[in-house]
Amino acid sequence: YQGHFSWEKYLKETGAVAAPPHCFRQSTTPPVNEFKAGMKLEAQDPRNTTSTCIATVVGLTGSRLRLRLDGSDNKNDFWRLVDSSEIQPIGNCEKNGGMLQPPLGFRLNASSWPMFLLKTLNGAEMAPARIFHKQEPPAPEQNSFQVGMKLEAVDRKNPHFICPATVGALRGVEVLITFDGWRGAFDYYCRYDSRDIFPVGWCALTGDNLQPPGTKESINIPKKRGPKPGSKLSWAKRTAWLEETIGGPGRPISKPRGKLPASW
Ligand code: MLY
């Protein structure tokens, strides 16, 4: 569900350009998602990437899976693309001479892990090998992003969200992802070949849900030096100036509900 957000209109309004698809480590035709809720698979523990664990698909969103490690709690769900190299069919770990590990924060005593593993796999619906994708798309040869280009990006603090974003800066192989209409609190640097960033239109193609930008007000904050002491400023101007000057804790920019303090 895309709400009423339209990239076409938005790009026109902002006069911005979409980062071309060849910039991204994503397939041009998004990978088909044939997984079903309840299926089990092997996944790298995101909090302990050297260990392979059993995970259950607890949700599906576009080309992504919402995963929960068996034996973990429901507070540490994570999302993976169906063509991620971090998920494999059950049996893969053992086939490669590895051993399945309990997740970080395993609910039970470590000594009960072998029995837990046996029980969790007994009668489980294992995701069939054929619905996994052979390999991740290859990384583009170089960082071709440019500052100001628009894209869709995972909000790493709220990874179920994919949001309209802008390249804020470049730093070698890294790209600064900034979220449109939100303060800097959600920004992050990632490698240009990160699997968390997608070309404009990705969510529309996959059926994942793209969040609308935070608010319109913050898109085009004019550059200014700051209010003269004692000057009468409108709410919008004051907010815009404060925004630019002090940044803030990552709330959407909206009119305060109550009255402004008298000193304003
Ligand atoms: N509950 C959070 C959600 C913030 C999401 C920001 N993303 C979309 C960039 C909050 O309101 O702070």
Which residue, 156, 160, 232, 222, is CA-closest to 189? 156
Residue type, 181: G
Q: Is 250 in the pocket of ligand 1 (CB under 6 A)?
A: yes
Which atom of ligand 1 lies closest to the CA of 252? Answer: 11
Q: Does 116 have pLDDT greater than 90?
A: yes
CA of 178 to the centre of ligand 1 (A): 13
Which atom of ligand 1 lies closest to the CA of 179? Answer: 9
Q: Which of 41-50, 116-125, 208-217, 252-261 has the lowest mean pLDDT?
A: 252-261
Residue type, 205: L
Q: Does 253 have pLDDT greater than 90?
A: no
Q: Yes or no: say if 203 and 62 are a contact pair by the CB < 8 Å rule.
A: yes
Q: Is 24 in the pocket of ligand 1 (CB under 6 A)?
A: no
Query: 40: which strand partners?
Result: 56, 126
Q: What is the pTM of this model?
A: 0.81
Q: Does 141 have pLDDT greater than 70?
A: yes
Question: What's the complex ipTM?
Answer: 0.92
| Arithmetic mean of pLDDT over the chain | 87
How confident is the model at residue 234, as a pLDDT? 52
How confident is the model at residue 227, as a pLDDT? 53
Which residue, 123, 97, 192, 93, is CA-closest to 151? 192
Alpha-carbon distance of 202 to 184, in angstroms, equals 24
Q: What is the pLDDT of residues 70-108, one digit of tens each?
A: 999 999 999 999 999 999 999 999 999 999 999 999 999
Residue nearest to atom 10 of ligand 1 (CA): 251
Mutate to test the pocket of ligand 1, among 152, 154, 158 (most ligand atoms within 8 A of CB): 158
Alpha-carbon distance of 161 to 152, in angstroms, equals 10
CA of 148 to the centre of ligand 1 (A): 22
Distances from the Cα of 126 to the Cαs of 38, 39, 143, 191, in angstroms? 9, 5, 38, 33
Which atom of ligand 1 lies closest to the CA of 182? Answer: 9
Greater model confidence, 226 or 37? 37
The predicted model gives 105-120 an average pLDDT of 96
Q: Does 9 have pLDDT greater than 80?
A: yes
The tokens for 85 are: 């190299």
How confident is the model at residue 4, as a pLDDT? 82
Q: What is the pLDDT of residues 164-223, one digit of tens each?
A: 999 999 999 999 999 999 999 999 999 999 999 999 999 999 999 999 999 845 554 444
How confident is the model at residue 161, as a pLDDT? 97
How confident is the model at residue 3, as a pLDDT? 58
Residue type, 166: T
